[in-house]
Amino acid sequence: MATEDKNRATAAAILPLVGGAANVDSIAHCMTRLRLGLHDRSLVDDEALKAVPAVMGVVEDDTYQIVLGPGTVARVTPEFEQLVEEGRASSETPAPVHTAEELADKGAALKARQKAKNSTPFKLFLRRIANIFVPLIPALIGCGIIAGLNGLLVNLGWLTAVTPALAAMASGFMALIAVFVGYNTAKEFGGTPILGGAVAAIIVFPGVANIDAFGQTLAPGQGGVLGALGAAVLAVYVEKSCRRWVPEALDVLVTPTLTVLISGLVTIFGLMYVAGEVSSAIGTFADWLLSTGGAGAGFLLGGFFLPLVMLGLHQALIPIHTTLIEQQGFTVLLPILAMAGAGQVGAAAAVYLRLPRNESIRRTIRSAMPAGLLGVGEPLIYGVSLPLGRPFITACVGGAFGGGFVGLFNQLGDSVGSTAIGPSGWALFPLLDGNHGLGSTIAIYAGGLLVGYVAGFVATYFFGFSKSLLAEFDVSQEPAPSTVATTGPPAASGDNQAKEPAGV
């Protein structure tokens, strides 16, 4: 089947299972998920969606999220949008298709309870911050890979006439990233996006080098993405205030002018300095943490990252990663956090061997393992380790040891970083960078993955199963519906949700 036909077939299979075109209110996608705003959640057939071959899982959050994986989601989404438009035009809603079995399914009450827990004002704010930065990830990845290729060519002395052009391609986006952050921030907080971008552009304008603030001469880019975020939020509030009192006849002239003027002055004579100090502190703290804490810091970061993901708190790391990339060219935190996925891979391999008679779980592991190796962990987490309980904990132990390994080398002076955020696992190799050459950086990261695989496997194989858990799951027949209802996995995602695990 041609790729276009395959993607369209996937979209066509999904549409009736979410209630048809009439039930779709909004469509968006991130790195791995198709995110749908739905009018009526009760029209969705979760089990049938999970049975669609290209679907890795589903997540209920503020939007209904269908996990398709990197690459696939970007190709399926346009096809899905086209089908929705065609369905609305013809006013025909296909009938839902009902199919069968999954490893597990927990009750809707647990979903609703967990969703309510994760809808705190702080977590909702973090989601808004994530919505600002997630659309930038494809550009960060593309420019990061070009930067890595350019660095390799420069070190080898090859294609010297081409490397300046590659450097421009790799650096152009990062030089203006504050503008994109400002645009997305204004859009997310309900302002005019272009005004947010205009105010944020002040931060990277070369002419600010002629301005003194707080007794210091400003530098272009000072404050970075944090300053851009703050400037755009301020612009939104100024704009909304103006809309309330400026007469409609003058609104088109007065509101944009006052928005840029007031927000721009505050940005130049306040936010750039403050945000610059905060950004410098973040970089200094990250360097200090790994140079002094080393293995211990890496152990904690690698071990606790997935619980942070389940609580939705990982979104606070996105602007920190971006700030480090902007300052240093790479983030030293991401390769350590990526070890959490390595622990899951090792744990899944152990589960596969410990449950030789449970073909249902083994089939799930076989289908999810390639994605897990490439850093897409949802299928293994939400389809295998988390529902079983103990294997999720032992997988986190594997991630902790992998993070400790990478952290140890940071402490010894070999920084391992990533030039972009988003990818993990093997997919992170093209984005690696460090301070002691690409070969050393790759070797350390590969060693961390290996340690994470082995530690996750050993911890799960020997400590991941109680006798009762083995007796319950190591069975030759397919899981009965009653067993599934008791031990099913959460329909949660790394973003915010989790269900109650069995056998802890």
- What residues are paired with 417 via a beta bridge? 433
How many whole angstroms separate alpha carbon 218 and alpha carbon 220? 7
Structure-derived torsion over alpha carbons of residues 199, 200, 203, 204, reported in degrees to the nearest 10 = -120
Least Cα distance to 205 among 215, 223, 220, 217 occurs for 220
How many whole angstroms separate alpha carbon 231 and alpha carbon 267? 6
Judged by DSSP in three states, 266 sits in helix
Q: The tokens 């612009």 sit on which residue?
A: 235
Q: Give CA 189 to chain center in angstroms.
A: 20
- CA distances in angstroms from 345 to 391, 418, 433, 445, listed in the order given: 11, 21, 24, 16
How many whole angstroms separate alpha carbon 260 and alpha carbon 280? 26
How many whole angstroms separate alpha carbon 187 and alpha carbon 179? 12
Those residues with Cβ within 8 angstroms of residue 93's Cβ, 6 or more apart along the chain or in another chain: 16, 19, 20, 21, 22, 23, 87
Interaxial angle between packed helices 317-328 and 272-288, expressed in degrees from 0 to 180 and rounded to the nearest 10: 90
The answer to whether 364 touches 343, Cβ cutoff 8 Å, is no
Q: What is the DSSP letter of 376?
A: -
Those residues with Cβ within 8 angstroms of residue 325's Cβ, 6 or more apart along the chain or in another chain: 140, 144, 174, 331, 418, 419, 420, 421
Helix runs in 157-271, H state only: 163-175, 177-188, 193-204, 224-245, 248-266
Least Cα distance to 421 among 502, 287, 326 occurs for 326
- What residues are paired with 26 via a beta bridge? 37
Interaxial angle between packed helices 163-175 and 177-188, expressed in degrees from 0 to 180 and rounded to the nearest 10: 30
Other CB atoms within 10 A of residue 406 CB: 31
DSSP element (H, E) containing 38: strand 33-38
Does the active-site annotation cover 30? yes
How many whole angstroms separate alpha carbon 221 and alpha carbon 199? 13
Q: Which of 30, 143, 242, 396 is catalytic?
A: 30
How many whole angstroms separate alpha carbon 402 and alpha carbon 203? 38
Q: What amino acid positions are annotated as catalytic residues?
A: 30
